[in-house]
Amino acid sequence: MTISDFEKKVIGKKVSKVLEVKVKQSHHTIYNCYYNGKYILRTYHSHRTGDLREFEMQSIKSQLKLDNKQQLYDLNNCPLSAEGYLEILTKKNLL
């Protein structure tokens, strides 16, 4: 998965549909996510381009409160909908 895929598909098309996402630029691009005004989670990536490295994908998976890397791939490739992601967060009592 490339960084641009992560930004456009995972954050732009999925996470931002169910959570309010505020972007902050620092030495990383940081995404703070809120639900009904309550802070839920944050994820980030570096400003470089290209593919996400294995350790970055593991970090993003954990930051997005996903159980496994397959769920991250599913968010990117569409089998996991925005509503499905919201359901995962609800089951974990994060909302």
Average pLDDT over residues 58-68: 93
Structurally, the chain folds into a number of domains equal to 1
Q: Which residues contact 72 (CB under 8 A, 6 or more apart)?
A: 1, 10, 57, 60, 61, 64, 66
The size of the chain, in residues, is 95
pTM summary value: 0.83
Q: 3-state DSSP call for residue 67?
A: coil
Span 1-29, pLDDT tens digits = 787 888 888 888 889 888 999 999 998 88
Q: Which residues contact 39 (CB under 8 A, 6 or more apart)?
A: 32, 33
Q: Supply 66's token pair.
A: 């996903």
The range of the structural domain enclosing residue 8 comes to 3-91
Q: How confident is the model at residue 75 (pLDDT cuts 50, 70, 90)?
A: confident
